[in-house]
Amino acid sequence: MFDPLVIGDTVLSSRLFIGTGKYSRNTLIPEVITCSGAEVITVALRRVDPAGGTENIMNHIPAHMKLLPNTSGARTAEEAVRIARLARAAGLGNWVKIEVINDQKYLLPDNLETIRATEILAAEGFIVLPYMSPDLSVALRLRDVGAAAVMPLGSPIGTNRGLRTKELLRILIEEVNLPIIVDAGIGRPSEAAEAMEMGAAAVLLNTAIATARDPLGMAEAFREAVSAGRKAYLAGLGPVEERAAASSPLTGFLG
């Protein structure tokens, strides 16, 4: 069944977005792309070397991938806007993941600066995907100022702690008519599947694959989990009941 995810003018068949950080060697990145089936990859502008040095992350990303430059390192809306404009000028396209982080301990996003950056960049024609703490008012405001999707965190970046914000994610999924892409903290394929079963449009993850003993095997596991979770969501989960109810008819069996 063709079940595309449409963001801006882009039609995607994979609902697994991946990152480019923390790999033991950058040459793993194209292999992870193949194993994960991902079509969208996020990259920090500061890792792009327009001079094309060996450390240039772009040398490891196949041309067919949809780039999602992120504003990692920005502490204010103005810094995020500047990074996004530089990324577009460098030929990385008009998608941008807004990341404005002031808190160096938990790496939690600054939702207010994120709204300001989103408003400015959406007005300039960017397809803006803001990384955010899951808060309904903020998500609605991001939608109103032009976000193409919102990316609420499951738990702090890099922790592999899973969907600690599950109840808040559920509210966003129910109330915000934008794609909800759960980003950060997903540590296990089962957690990615759960986010998709809940109705998330996609998930973005990096650490769980990059730090696995076998990143390629883990990339494949996440590919299957995201697909299974989406299928379960579309099929409609059965109701959760208080009381036991026999699955096979009991009446007439013992007399």
127 scored as a contact of ligand DXP (CB under 6 A): no
In the complex with ligand DXP, which residue's Cβ is closer, 42 or 234? 42
Q: If 0-12 CB within 10 Å is exposed, 13-18 middle and 19+ buried, where does residue 146 land?
A: middle
Q: In what order do the strands lie in the sheet with 127-132?
A: 151-152, 127-132, 95-98, 66-70, 40-44, 16-18, 202-205, 181-183
Q: Is 19 labeled as ligand-binding?
A: no
Q: If 0-12 CB within 10 Å is exposed, 13-18 middle and 19+ buried, where does residue 206 land?
A: buried
165 scored as a contact of ligand DXP (CB under 6 A): no
Nearest of 39, 49, 42, 48 to residue 20 by alpha carbon: 42
Among 22, 66, 97, 231, the active-site one is: 97
37 scored as a contact of ligand DXP (CB under 6 A): no
Of these, 39, 110, 113, 183, which contacts ligand DXP (CB under 6 A)? 183
Q: Which stretch binds ligand DXP (CB under 6 A): 33-41, 182-190, 225-233, 240-248?
A: 182-190
- Catalytic machinery residues: 97
Binding residues for ligand DXP (CB under 6 A)? 19, 21, 42, 70, 157-158, 183-186, 204-208
Q: Which residues are annotated as a binding site for 1-deoxy-D-xylulose 5-phosphate?
A: 158, 184-185, 206-207
